Structure 1
Amino acid sequence: MRPGEIVAEGLAPPAGPVLRFVGRIRTPWGPGECPKNIGKARETGRGARVELDPAFAPALLGLEIGQPVVLLYWLHEARRDLLRQSPRHIDGTRGTFALRSPNRPNSIGLATVRITALDGAAGTLGIDAIDCFDGTPLLDIKPWLERVDLPPAP
């Protein structure tokens, strides 16, 4: 370990591939009322928050209000068996990997959001918006970095 690094107590590295939920996303949305994408969620003006498991609160160090971050979350109520889908907003059918639908073999959601509030001691982040159900399990938070996250020019 390097100087200044700390580890979460009782969280030994798992044997083999395992997903560990680090918290939950709190939203005003439930089934039947959730916006279909983050753009629609932003239009509502209704923000959301991230609540980390207390063991992961120290991992917020270095984040700032106003900063964009990428959230990876587990869409726990989505189907996992659709290979082709016919969304209402698109004419025709597309392969699941050509869509941002929650219905996919591994139901991992991804959203770039902006931090609106930050309480490192409590392990909470306010975020501008998100399009998932209240209580959605959070997998990870990563800083959005222009030099890394913008694709190269064609």
Structure 2
Amino acid sequence: MATHSSVSLRPGEECLEEPLWLEENARLCFIGRVRTPWGPEDCPGNIAAARATGQGARIELADGMERGLVGLSVGQPMVAVYWMDHARRDLIVQAPRHCDGPRGTFALRSPHRPNPIALSVVTIRAIDAAAGVLEIDALDCFDGTPLLDLKPWLPTVDAPHREQTE
């Protein structure tokens, strides 16, 4: 199995034999950057832990993206989709410290995955539409993390379906 060049594997972890990102079939663009107080040594492990610190975050859109904020309002929940650009992309089985054993990457919210896409539901605290800036409640990523997309969180669309039981 292939291994990431700079980090050793934990017991039970496995890497992809041939990383999928070697194919150039996707064309993504970053619409901005996330500004947080976090770096590699102190970044919270998830959005709940980031919120617990009381540290907010800021989204700074790339030039030309400002008009995409039209219609948003303070207090509105948003889905932030971001690219964990420092994450490993070769792990297919991981051994997180908080689990009782190895788990498949798709059974985890870990940033280490073939496509290191993360998402969190955040709340808008302030909007500077002219500057293309959103102040949000928190985010669990390094300062400068690339932003892929923003979408409004809609309870009629985004809340999971629950089967009726009698």
Does the pair score TM above 0.5?
A: yes
C-alpha displacement of 1:54: 2.0
Structure 1 outlier segments of 4+, above 4 Å? none
Could you tell me which of 23, 47, 63 is aligned with 2:72?
63
The corresponding residue for 1:32 is 41
**Alignment-mate amino acid for residue 44 of structure 1:** T
Which residue does 1:135 correspond to in 2?
144
Matches within 5 A, 1:3-152: 17-152=26-161
Equivalent position SS for 1:63: coil
Give TM-score scaled by structure 1 length: 0.89
Shift, 1:17, TM fit:
3.1
Question: By how many angstroms is 1:32 displaced?
Answer: 1.2
Q: CA RMSD in A?
A: 0.8
Letter in 2 for 1:148: V
Q: Counterpart in 2 of 1:3?
A: none
Q: Which blocks of at least 5 consecutive residues in structure 1 are unaligned?
A: 1-15
Give the Cα separation in 2 of the matches to 1:70 and 1:32: 25
Return the letter of the residue paired with 1:30: G
The Cα of 1:72 is off from its aligned counterpart by 0.5
Normalising by structure 2, report the TM-score: 0.82
